Homo-oligomer: A and B are copies of this chain.
């Protein structure tokens, strides 16, 4: 399953020349990726690849990746792909996504690849595919369609402070 960024035929514009660095910074601030050893393998304009290895904290009752975790990896990939095509003072909030599961996510690693379908004035439509690596082979297991709203940067002062 090859992800096809720009498959819909419009060239993407660079609105923020610093897009790779800002994506890497934001990724590094995601607790979910730190705790679960996520890796940001590739960042391009409108395209992002994320790897997350299997661990108990991602598992459902059969020891496969939990479907919600497959969605989390897809969401991360399409969300960061969206972040690459925004202005420096913008970020994006998920309005909704839909994910179809094609095969059980039974393997050692999830690979999420995000791409862009359309950059609109107020919304971006993105997509992601997720594959699972088992015995060295990559198997398609899910794909997502993701609608995100373009917004001004959320203030970092709003950070959650649990367990204080």
Residues of chain A touching chain B, judged by Cβ–Cβ distance below 8 Å, are 1-2, 4, 7-9, 26-27, 29-32, 34-36, 53-64, 66-69, 71-76, 79, 93-102, 104, 106-108, 117-118, 120, 122-123, 125, 140, 143, 145, 147, 149, 154, 156, 158-163
Contacts and interface: CB of A to CB of B under 8 A. Distances in A.
A123 B107 contact: no
A94 B95 CA distance: 13
A152 to B, nearest CB: 12
Identical chains in the assembly: 4
Given A1-B9, A62-B160, A100 B147 contact: yes
A35 to B, nearest CB: 3
A29 B154 CA distance: 37
A96 B29 contact: no
B145 A95 contact: no
Contacts of A31: 55-60, 63, 66
Contact of A69 (B59, B68, B106): B68
Contact of A102 (B73, B97, B118): B118
A8 B53 contact: no
A104 B36 CA distance: 22
26 contacts: A4-B7, A30-B59, A31-B58, A31-B60, A31-B63, A31-B66, A32-B57, A32-B60, A32-B68, A35-B56, A36-B57, A62-B159, A64-B160, A67-B75, A67-B79, A68-B71, A68-B74, A71-B72, A71-B75, A95-B100, A95-B101, A108-B162, A122-B122, A122-B149, A123-B149, A145-B145
